[in-house]
Amino acid sequence: MTCCSGPCCRTEPWKGETVARLRSLACSALLATALAVASATVFAAPASAGSLYWKNGTNVSKSTVWSGATASNIQCYTPSGYNATMCIRFDRRAIYVRNNKANGYFKLGQWTGGGNTYICQNNRTKSTGDNSWVACQWNWPKKNCYTMRTGYGQHEWYVISGPSGIKCY
């Protein structure tokens, strides 16, 4: 009698129990190798994983955001339902985030390009934060393709919008 079943463990009456055990051992070793390779592949970090940069913005005036702005050096994004506007000033390497409606949530502006993600947070959540702007500056690459997103949240969670279309500068 054998304790083995399945296509790897067929017994043939003229070969006996030893052959069935060897086949069972070979099937187990093959399965263990396949599982090891699969788990290493699934859980490996992607080769192009970028970095996440997150800052709390500093308060700025609307005139600071728009001073010297031209169609070629500023791009804004305001998806509906997030109560936030974000603008990128390419000439300043800055993200500006406006709280369109101070409803108790912080607001976010996110720029993703060159494999990295940059998030600027506007913490003005009370009624005095309506239409308030904050700025965050980074030294990101001057030439890049990117997407923008906005979002909102509280200290333990946040929700982010879908991406803008891809833009290159």
Is the Cα dihedral 66, 68, 70, 74 positive or negative?
Answer: negative
Domain parsing of the chain, residue ranges: 7-43, 52-168
Q: 19-77: per-residue pLDDT in tens?
A: 556 566 555 555 455 444 444 333 333 445 689 999 999 999 999 999 999 998 999 99
Residue pLDDT, tens place only, 108-138: 999 998 889 999 999 988 777 788 999 999 8
**Around Cβ 160, how many Cβ atoms within 10 Å?**
15
CATH topology assigned to domain 52-168: Immunoglobulin-like (2.60.40)
Burial track 65-95 (b if 16+ CB lie within 10 A, e otherwise)? beeeeeeeebbbbbbeebbbbbbbbbebbbb
- Using CA atoms, how far apart are residues 99 and 105, in angstroms rounded to an integer? 9
